[in-house]
């Protein structure tokens, strides 16, 4: 392709294509709202890509459900318009690269410049920018964004152009759709059975009160009719009206026999001797099997999943803080189920919303909906139940209004608090301890480390430095015990190897001094930094670990550069 003056015009075409690409990308990412889906199974979905959050050192065996694309609420299906447009942009970029290659090849042919040769096979290739972004650094400050969330299908430059986000939080997972047909009949039968049992228990209490009134009548002998009439009127007045489908329901046999023998002397506390009426089995009332019940989630498991979800939200917030432009729209929708009562669901929603309070310069923050589904799949809007009793004791939406005001403040992003900084240092220490093959020998099980890390997450969310300092002290003790066992193991094996070398006549291994154990104990009690790299570089099979002099007084009060135990 030549101009009228016989000069190539590839650079002009490339500049025009690049300008078209840049304008299209700005329009695509700045004008659309991108959805992010977060579930309690420590996973983040956006643009047909998933990001698994490793919140604990080892996989959680209690995660029995994974995120799925069920219709309610809609699982993340991806943005098809974005996918199609990205495909067009990829084709345009490939054409630009091909044209640039042709232009360089033509230029090289004119000037006889040799083509670049590939690197030798022994020379390692440089890592990509994404790998460098996710790798850990020795600087403790880099740990704050070392595990920042990043969708795999988008580059960092494209994410920086996004101005609107829709974040859907599904806790503890993507809920299953409500049952239909015969399953709903099971649930209705179960509800009717519960109503029947409540009515029978009420009738039993009425019979007990009548018997007690008759006994008092026989003992007192004064005004029996008036007393009995008052007791009956009080009992009947407290009874609920009988449902239509329970009309003509006979009393249980146990209650009838008790009413007949009411003239006999009763114990001082007759209610303690009344048994609860027997619950009829579903097989006696229906030919169908019992109604389906969702898996009961233990409170400890739900608490752990809460803070795993907070970890995922913290990673999203950390990435949003890096955006160069203010966020125009930030909409949140929360779906909560597996709670039998509404109060824990409200507390969980407050915990999730508090994670976003560190954001600033959000033009339009909003909470679209907060839905709670009970054990019978009844969905309730609990948005108006979020209230801050300390600040707005009478306003039902005070918590959300305060949340919006904090996010819309026109101020720089606040620095991470010392609690957050210290937590991430402890986070990586726990990962390092669990990753080592000998770390489990100083703990009863991996549950101990998980429990400490869970308490650290709680302290991070509540900004409690005292609780985090206690967790740090316990992790320090685990690390010191580990170092002592490692040194004792090396001393014991080295002595045996030296003794074996003496028997075999080998001069390669020198025996250890007799006071090696005492020197080890002295180093452990007052000296030695005990870092992981010290274990890797100084622990050898032929000598004791060497502790450098400049490192002796740093370890007892330091964890990853953070003062936690002072």
DSSP codes joined into one string, 374-394: -TT--EEE-GGG---TTT-SS
Q: In the predicted model, is pLDDT for residue 366 greater than 90?
A: yes
- The arithmetic mean of pLDDT across residues 343-362, rounded, is 92
Q: DSSP for 133-162? A: HHS--SSGGGGGGTT----TTS-HHHHHT-
Residue 480 banded pLDDT, cuts 50, 70, 90: confident
Q: Is the peptide bond before 73 cis (omega within 30 degrees of 0)?
A: yes
Q: What is the pLDDT of residue 317?
A: 92
Q: What pLDDT does 331 receive?
A: 95
The rounded distance, in Å, linking the Cα atoms of 135 and 132 is 5
**Alpha-carbon distances of 83 from 43, 80, 87, 319, 505, rounded to whole Å:** 21, 5, 6, 22, 72
Instruction: Pick the closest to residue 368 from 33, 31, 28, 32 (CA basis).
Output: 33
Q: Does residue 505 surpass a pLDDT of 60? A: yes
Residues 6+ apart with CB under 8 A from 370: 333, 334, 336, 349, 381, 382, 383, 386
Q: Which residues pair with 559 in a beta bridge?
A: 562
pLDDT tens per residue across span 163-175:
999 999 999 876 6
Q: How much is the average pLDDT of 455-475? A: 91
Minimum mean pLDDT range among 4-8, 303-307, 326-330: 4-8
Q: Which residue has the higher pLDDT, 248 or 308?
A: 308
At residue 260, the pLDDT reads 36
What's residue 264's pLDDT?
38
Higher pLDDT, 541 or 211: 211
Nearest 10 degrees: Cα torsion 90, 93, 98, 101: -140
Please report which confidence band the pLDDT of residue 367 belongs to, taking 50, 70 and 90 as the band edges: very high
∠ Cα 192 198 202 (to 5°): 145
The span from the CA of 160 to the CA of 4, in Å, is: 41
365 SS3 class: strand
Query: With bands split at pLDDT 50, 70 and 90, how would you rate the model's confidence at 527?
Result: very low
225: confidence class by pLDDT, cuts 50, 70, 90: low
Instruction: Quickly count: other Cβ atoms within 10 Å of residue 345's Cβ.
Output: 24
Kindly report the CA angle at 426 between 464 and 438, in degrees rounded to 5? 140
- Report whether pLDDT(461) > 50: yes
Residue 265 clears pLDDT 50, i.e. is over it: no
Of 151 and 346, the one with more pLDDT: 346
Secondary structure class of 451 (helix, strand, coil)? helix
Q: What is the pLDDT of residues 54-105, one digit of tens each?
A: 565 543 333 333 333 333 344 444 454 555 566 666 777 777 777 777 777 7
Average pLDDT over residues 19-24: 81
Higher pLDDT, 318 or 516: 318
Question: Rounded to 5, what percent of the chain is helix, strand, coil?
Answer: 55, 10, 35
> Cα(467)–Cα(404) distance, rounded to whole angstroms?
29
Read off the pTM: 0.55
CB 45 within 8 A of CB 153: no
Half-sphere exposure of 2 (CA within 13 A, CB side): 5
Whether 245 has a pLDDT exceeding 50, the answer reads no
Per-residue pLDDT, 57: 56
**Percent of the chain with pLDDT strictly greater than 70:** 51
pLDDT (0 to 100) of residue 282: 43
Q: Mean pLDDT across the stretch 323-342?
A: 91
Q: Write out pLDDT tens, residues 373-408.
A: 887 778 888 887 775 544 444 444 678 888 999 999
- According to DSSP H, which parts of 253-341 are helical? 253-260, 282-285, 299-320
Mean of per-residue pLDDT scores for the chain: 67
Residue 43 has pLDDT above 60, yes or no: yes
pLDDT(541) > 50: no
Residue 353 CB partners (closer than 8 Å, separation 6+): 332, 334, 367, 386, 399, 400, 403
What is the rounded CA–CA span in Å between residue 448 and residue 452? 6
């Amino acid at each position: 392709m030549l101009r009228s003056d016989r000069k190539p015009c590839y650079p002009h075409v490339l500049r025009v294509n690049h300008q078209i690409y840049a304008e299209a990308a700005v329009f695509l990412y700045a004008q659309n709202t991108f959805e992010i889906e977060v579930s309690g199974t420590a996973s983040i979905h956006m643009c047909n890509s998933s990001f698994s959050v490793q919140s604990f050192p080892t996989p959680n065996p209690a995660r029995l459900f994974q995120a799925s694309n069920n219709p309610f609420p809609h699982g993340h299906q991806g943005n098809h318009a974005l996918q199609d447009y990205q495909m067009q942009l990829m084709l345009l970029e490939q054409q630009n690269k091909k044209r640039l290659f042709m232009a360089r090849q033509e230029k090289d042919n004119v000037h006889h410049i040799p083509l670049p040769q590939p690197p030798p096979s022994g020379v390692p290739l440089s890592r990509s920018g994404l790998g460098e972004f996710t790798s850990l650094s020795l600087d403790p400050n880099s740990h704050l964004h070392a595990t920042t969330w990043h969708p795999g299908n988008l580059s960092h430059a494209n994410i920086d152009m996004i101005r609107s986000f829709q974040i859907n939080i599904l806790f503890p997972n993507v809920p299953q759709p409500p049952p239909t047909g015969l399953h709903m009949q099971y649930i209705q039968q179960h509800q009717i059975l519960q109503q029947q049992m409540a009515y029978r228990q009420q009738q039993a209490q009425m019979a007990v009160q009548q018997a007690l009134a008759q006994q008092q009548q026989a003992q007192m002998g004064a005004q029996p009719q008036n007393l009995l009439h008052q007791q009956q009127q009080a009992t009947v007045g407290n009874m609920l009206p009988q449902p239509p489908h329970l009309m003509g329901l006979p009393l249980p046999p146990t209650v009838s026999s008790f009413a007949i023998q009411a003239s006999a002397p009763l114990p001082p506390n007759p209610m303690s001797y009344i048994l609860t009426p027997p619950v009829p089995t579903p097989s006696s009332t229906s030919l169908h099997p019992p109604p389906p019940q969702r898996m009961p989630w233990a409170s400890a498991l739900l608490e752990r999943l809460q803070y795993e979800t907070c970890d995922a939200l913290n990673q999203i917030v950390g990435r949003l803080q890096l955006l160069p432009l203010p966020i125009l729209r930030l909409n949140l929708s929360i779906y909560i189920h597996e709670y039998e009562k509404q109060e824990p669901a409200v507390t969980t929603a407050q915990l999730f919303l508090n994670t976003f309070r560190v954001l600033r310069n959000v033009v339009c923050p909003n909470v679209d909906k907060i839905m709670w589904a009970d054990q019978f799949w009844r969905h309730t809007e609990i948005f108006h139940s979020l209230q801050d009793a300390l600040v707005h004791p009478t306003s039902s939406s005070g918590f959300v209004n305060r949340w919006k005001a904090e996010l819309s403040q026109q101020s720089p992003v606040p620095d991470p608090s010392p609690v957050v900084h210290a937590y991430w240092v402890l986070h990586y220490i726990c990962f390092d301890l669990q990753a080592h093959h000998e770390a489990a020998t100083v703990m009863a099980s991996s549950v101990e480390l998980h429990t400490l890390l869970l308490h650290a997450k709680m302290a991070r969310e509540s900004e409690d430095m005292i609780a985090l300092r206690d967790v740090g002290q316990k992790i320090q003790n685990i690390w010191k015990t580990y170092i002592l066992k490692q040194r004792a193991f090396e001393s014991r094996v080295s002595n045996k190897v030296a003794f074996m070398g003496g028997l075999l006549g080998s001069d390669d291994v020198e025996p250890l001094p007799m006071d090696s154990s005492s020197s080890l104990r002295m180093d452990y009690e007052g000296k030695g930094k005990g870092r992981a790299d010290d274990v890797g570089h100084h622990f050898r099979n032929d000598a004791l670990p060497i502790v450098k002099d400049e490192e002796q007084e740093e370890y007892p009060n330091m964890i990853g550069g953070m003062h936690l135990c002072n």
